[in-house]
């Protein structure tokens, strides 16, 4: 790999969510009205400190896996890197823009896959000609076939996430953030997407992957960050070591490395 | 360079595979991907910028221009989706304005009969409804746009101003279809085709700028406070009744002795754009207005006094109509448009990084 060339620098990042309507509010019109009569404000704004002082540097060509239990702040971290969540304190530095690819993020659900490819391609800053040139490649890669002419809300979960991955990875990104995107794909698509991630890395980008499948992280990533309650427990290049430690700590089965090509 | 590189790459103080089975406590030593120098300096040295940074207003405008194809494609796609569930599909683009015109004509033309002082009431009313509808729908949809497209905002990076712009482009397309219907109605009611008709184009261009500007403001407010998008329809409806959509403001007899109020009503942006289009399209209205004398409160009061005693004195009553002249209307039209677009653009741009959060 080339000399270290940082693409993402996260400096003592803190992210705080403000959640409205946490308790004592059943959300009916009557309770809302009573609240106004009693001159109370919005019911107890609760603060959720999702990321607490995280710092790391990721270089050009890295594929960074982010692991941790549910609610440990993995997705929040990705969204902060993408610039979609303003930090409470600290900072995230990147080159240009990071693109977040979430498995749950519907694009334009009531539109056909075809239109989604075009509109999202343009939104990512491609010219109409580039979109036209890459259109067939995107559709072929996603493997949705004839479904491309149907609205995306008719897609299965796997098809939708495959198309989203195909769209987002059609352009080389400086920083690509993938949130559980590959979990729903079938075996064939996982092989293809792993190749694509390798290509993106080779095209001098950084890829971040959030996934619950440790085997997948280990296959794809050269570094890993283990988050627990918004803090880094371990981070580094020793992917199998950190994954083993994580699995041991969470009571998971150790990985059977016979299958993983490493 | 190379020394630092190995340090970053090497990942200092990591737990090895062997000792990893105990739960390690989080400590600075375990944060293995850190160099020694301050991170902010490292980032600056490699030309990295804050991910949540907002570009300057000029740069933002250039980014917006780069995404013009996206704005159009997004608008077209939404427009198609909007009617895809309806059996008649795109026919609704023409049916909706026609039905609107029919309902308002039934209520205001037939039942309430607000046609006072207007020679060609159907064309007058339909012009008012279509022009106001453009502003009304732009405002309502702009106040919802950020919440409606949150998924897209969270998934992809693009200047968020594309979204209100795209939605208003849809409304503009809808408006232009309505204009075709309007032209047919205007011709069918006996108005002649004149060169004045060309003035409709700058009038609609100014109105579009105004809609985009206020749309930006409403989009930002609606993104933060969802209650606003619930309120907007009521505010806009109240505004409609104050803008002379279904009556001719100078001919409203309750305003005969309230010149200032009449003036204020006529220079409000919706009334201005409606009046500009009407004055361009409707020769009959221009002729009527030409018959009015300049406003004179004394003469008007005298005329009203005589009218109360059963004597109609048309010459005196003709001094009652405070008509804001066409050149003033154009000035107000340009003023409102520029003020709205400048303030709206800056206001929307200020909150660029906060959209889609939460």
3-state secondary structure of B67: coil
**Distance in Å from the first CA to the final CA of chain B:** 40
Global pTM reads: 0.79
Nearest to A63 by CA among A195, A153, A165, A185: A195
Pair type for strands A63-67 and A223-228: parallel
Q: Residue A230 — very low, low, confident or very high, per pLDDT cuts 50/70/90?
A: confident
User: What pLDDT, on the 0 to 100 scale, is given for residue B302?
Assistant: 86
User: What pLDDT, on the 0 to 100 scale, is given for residue B357?
Assistant: 63
- Number of compact structural domains in chain B: 1
Report d(CA A151, CA A170) in Å as an integer: 20
In angstroms, what is the C-alpha Rg of chain B?
A: 29
Q: Do A57 and B42 touch (CB under 8 A)?
A: yes
Q: Do B67 and A4 touch (CB under 8 A)?
A: no
**Which residues pair with residue B253 across a beta bridge?**
none
Q: Do B151 and A107 touch (CB under 8 A)?
A: yes
Nearest to A81 by CA among A174, A161, A165, A2: A174
Chain B residues 12-51 within an 8 A CB cutoff of chain A: 14-17, 20-24, 26, 30-35, 39-40, 42-43, 46-51
What is the nearest CA distance from B145 to chain A, expressed in angstroms? Answer: 13
Report d(CA A4, CA B219) in Å as an integer: 42
φ, ψ of residue A66 in degrees (nearest 5): -115, 120
User: What pLDDT, on the 0 to 100 scale, is given for residue B216?
Assistant: 95
Question: Starting at the edge strand that comes first in sequence, how are the strands of the sheet with A98-102 ordered?
Answer: A98-102, A175-179, A206-210, A63-67, A223-228, A231-236
Residues A225-250: what's their mean pLDDT?
86
B45 Cβ contact list (under 8 Å, min separation 6): none
- Taking the Cβ of residue B358 and every Cβ of chain A, the question of whether any pair is shorter than 8 Å is answered with yes
Tokens of A128: 């109409």
Residue B84 falls inside a structural domain:
yes
Residue B313 falls inside a structural domain:
yes
Residue B337 falls inside a structural domain:
yes
What is the nearest CA distance from B338 to chain A, expressed in angstroms? Answer: 27
Identify the DSSP state of B16.
P
pLDDT digits (tens, 9 = 90+) for A200-226: 777 757 888 887 778 878 888 888 999
Q: Do B156 and A123 touch (CB under 8 A)?
A: yes
Low-confidence ranges of chain B (pLDDT < 50): 1-31
pLDDT digits (tens, 9 = 90+) for A49-108: 888 888 888 888 888 999 888 888 888 888 888 877 778 888 888 876 677 765 555 567
Q: Whats the size of chain A, residue-wise?
A: 262
Helix (H) or strand (E) holding B50: strand B49-50
Give CA torsion, residues B13, B15, B18, B23, to 10 deg: 150
Q: Whats the size of chain B, residue-wise?
A: 358
Chain B residues 295-354 within an 8 A CB cutoff of chain A: 353-354
User: What pLDDT, on the 0 to 100 scale, is given for residue A45?
Assistant: 66
Identify the DSSP state of B322.
-
Residue B111 falls inside a structural domain:
yes
Residue B10 falls inside a structural domain:
no
User: What pLDDT, on the 0 to 100 scale, is given for residue A27?
Assistant: 63
In a mutational test of the B interface, the residue from A9, A76, A221 whose CB has the highest number of chain B CBs within 10 Å is A9
CA distances to A28, A227, A240, A245, B12 from B25, in Å: 44, 12, 19, 12, 16
3-state secondary structure of B235: helix
B83 Cβ contact list (under 8 Å, min separation 6): B89, B90, B92, B93
User: What pLDDT, on the 0 to 100 scale, is given for residue B6?
Assistant: 36
The nearest alpha carbon in chain B to A61 belongs to: B9
What is the nearest CA distance from A11 to chain B, expressed in angstroms? Answer: 6
In a mutational test of the A interface, the residue from B1, B45, B55, B157 whose CB has the highest number of chain A CBs within 10 Å is B157
Residue B301 falls inside a structural domain:
yes
User: What pLDDT, on the 0 to 100 scale, is given for residue A21?
Assistant: 56
How far out from the chain centre does Cα B232 lie? 12
Identify the DSSP state of B247.
S
Report d(CA B50, CA A114) in Å as an integer: 34
Angle in degrees, CA A181, B73, B351, rounded to 5:
70
Q: Do A9 and B358 touch (CB under 8 A)?
A: no
Reported ipTM: the value is: 0.73
**Which range marks the domain in which residue B297 is found?**
64-354
Residue B1 falls inside a structural domain:
no
SS (H, E, C) chain A: CCCCCEEEEEEEEEEEEEECCCCCCCCCHHHHHHHHHCCCCCCCCEEEEEEEEEEEEEECCCEEEEECCCCCCHHHHHHHHCCCCCCCEEEEEECCCEEEEECCCCCCCCCEHHHHHHHHHHHCCCCHHHHHHHHHHHHHHHCCHHHHHCEHHHCCHHHHHHHHHHHHCCCCCCEEEEECCCCCCCHHHHHHHHHHHHHHHHCCCEEEEECCCHHHHHHHCCEEEEEECCEEEEEECCHHHHHHHHHHHHCCCCCCCCCCCC
User: What pLDDT, on the 0 to 100 scale, is given for residue A105?
Assistant: 52
- B188-194: long-range contacts, CB 8 A cutoff, minimum separation 24: B189/B120, B189/B122, B189/B123, B190/B120, B190/B284, B191/B120, B191/B123, B191/B281, B191/B282, B191/B283, B191/B284, B192/B283, B194/B283
Residue B5 falls inside a structural domain:
no
Tokens of B281: 């399209």
């Amino acid at each position: 790999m080339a000399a270290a060339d940082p693409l993402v620098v996260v400096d003592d990042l803190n992210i705080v969510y403000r959640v409205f309507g946490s308790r004592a509010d059943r959300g009916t019109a009557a309770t809302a009205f009573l609240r106004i009569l009693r001159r109370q404000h919005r019911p107890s704004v609760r603060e959720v400190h999702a990321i607490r002082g995280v710092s790391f540097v990721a270089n050009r060509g890295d594929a960074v896996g982010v692991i941790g239990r549910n609610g440990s702040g993995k997705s929040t971290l990705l969204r902060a890197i993408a610039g979609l969540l303003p930090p409470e304190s600290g900072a995230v530095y990147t080159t240009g823009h990071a693109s977040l690819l979430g498995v749950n993020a519907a694009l334009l659900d009531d539109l056909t896959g075809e239109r989604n490819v075009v509109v999202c391609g343009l939104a990512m800053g491609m010219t109409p000609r580039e979109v036209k040139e890459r259109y067939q490649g995107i559709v072929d890669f996603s493997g949705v076939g004839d479904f491309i002419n149907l609205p995306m809300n008719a897609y299965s979960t796997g098809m939708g996430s495959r198309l989203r991955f195909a769209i987002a990875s059609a352009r080389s990104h400086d920083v690509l953030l993938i949130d559980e995107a590959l979990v729903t794909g079938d075996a064939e698509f996982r092989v293809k997407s792993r190749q694509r991630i390798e290509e993106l890395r080779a095209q001098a980008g950084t890829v971040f992957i959030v996934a619950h499948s440790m085997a997948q992280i280990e296959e794809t990533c050269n570094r890993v960050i283990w988050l627990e309650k918004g803090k880094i427990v371990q981070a580094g290049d020793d992917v199998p070591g950190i994954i083993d430690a994580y699995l041991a700590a969470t009571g998971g089965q150790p990985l059977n490395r016979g299958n993983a090509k490493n | 360079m190379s020394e630092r590189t190995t340090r970053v790459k090497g990942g200092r103080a990591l737990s090895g595979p062997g000792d990893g089975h105990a739960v390690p406590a989080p400590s600075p030593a375990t944060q293995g991907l850190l160099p020694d120098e301050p991170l902010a300096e490292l980032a600056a040295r490699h030309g990295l910028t804050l991910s949540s940074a907002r570009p300057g207003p000029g740069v933002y405008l250039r980014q917006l221009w780069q995404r013009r194809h996206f704005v159009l494609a997004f608008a077209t796609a939404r427009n198609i989706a909007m009617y895809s569930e309806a059996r008649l599909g795109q026919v609704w683009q023409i049916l909706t304005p026609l039905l609107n015109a029919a309902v308002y004509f039934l209520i205001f033309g037939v039942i309430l009969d607000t046609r006072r002082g207007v020679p060609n009431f159907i064309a007058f009313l339909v012009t008012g409804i279509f022009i106001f509808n453009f502003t009304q729908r732009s405002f309502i949809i702009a106040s919802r746009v950020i919440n409606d497209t949150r998924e897209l905002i969270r998934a992809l990076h693009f200047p968020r101003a594309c979204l209100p712009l795209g939605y208003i482009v849809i409304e503009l397309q809808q408006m232009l279809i309505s204009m075709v219907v309007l032209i047919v109605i205007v011709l069918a009611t006996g108005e002649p085709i004149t060169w004045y008709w060309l003035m409709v184009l700058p009038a609609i261009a100014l109105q579009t700028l105004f809609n985009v500007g206020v749309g930006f403001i409403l989009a930002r407010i609606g993104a933060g406070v969802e209650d606003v998008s619930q309120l907007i329809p009521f505010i806009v409806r109240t505004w409609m009744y104050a803008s002379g959509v279904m009556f001719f403001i100078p001919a409203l007899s309750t305003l005969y002795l309230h010149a200032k109020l009449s003036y204020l009503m006529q220079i409000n942006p919706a009334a201005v754009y409606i009046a500009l289009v009407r004055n361009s399209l409707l020769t009959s209205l221009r002729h009527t207005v030409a018959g009015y004398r300049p406003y004179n409160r004394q003469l008007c009061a005298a005329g009203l006094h005589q009218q109360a005693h059963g004597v109609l004195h048309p010459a005196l009553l003709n001094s009652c109509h405070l008509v804001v002249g066409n050149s003033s209307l154009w000035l107000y039209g340009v003023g409102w448009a520029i003020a709205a677009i400048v303030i709206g653009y800056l206001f929307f741009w200020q909150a660029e990084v906060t959209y889609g959060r939460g």
